Amino acid sequence: MKQIIIPVVIFLLTLHSCKKDKEEIPVIAGDLNLEMVHWEFNPALKIQLQIDPANNMKYGKDSIDINQDGNYDLFFYLKLFIDRKETDRLDYGTYYGKLVAKNGLEISTKTETYYIGLGQTNDISWVDTLKYEDKVSSRNNWSDPINTVYNFMWVLPARPTMSNGCWFDIFDDERYIGIRMKINSEYKYGWLKVNQDSDRNIEIQSYAIEK
């Protein structure tokens, strides 16, 4: 009986050890391992801004099917109010960028607490900026699957006590957006490699996610 049980126990312990080692492989921004699938845009996917003369603004949008299942999971929306001549808007010349995640995709976020008066505060969650080799799989703050709209930046904050967002001071520099998606009760982590040019336009260069 022992000759049968001992090999089975050793085999199960080996499987458990292999599974544990696999789960401990970190997902690093900009890095690839054998457990990841990688897509690269050539040329880079750039959000093209079009003029909307009726609203004195430029706007653009695009989307990505992260897991290539035929359903778009991540939507980029950018807009720029460009002229005050024919409008009373206070946000002319300002820029807004936001992400919308769908189909269970979550985005790495950064929460900011700001003062709203009378001793009270409020929170806003921004799309976080990760640098090369930041550990994606150890991030603590992720977007809510219910509230899926998150901002890159506001050039004109909604309140003077708020910041302009995580992407406001980044020009011609590569950053990463952390992503994850739950598949069969297990999170699959990944990243998007993004560049923001001097005109605050967003380019998505590549992305990767665990298999």
pLDDT tens digits, 20-62: 445 568 999 999 988 899 999 999 998 888 888 887 788 899 9
Q: 50 pairs with which residues across the strands?
A: 59
Helix (H) or strand (E) holding 211: none
pLDDT the model gives residue 134: 96
* Distance spanning both ends of the chain, measured CA to CA: 40
For 49, other C-beta atoms within 10 Å of its C-beta total 19
Give the whole-angstrom CA distance, residue 207 versus residue 193: 6
DSSP state at residue 11? H
Question: Does the structure show a pLDDT above 60 at 204?
Answer: yes
> Contact 36/211 with Cβ under 8 angstroms?
yes
pLDDT the model gives residue 164: 74
Q: Give me the chain's average pLDDT, please.
A: 79
Helix (H) or strand (E) holding 159: none
pTM, rounded to two decimals: 0.79
Q: 101 pairs with which residues across the strands?
A: 74
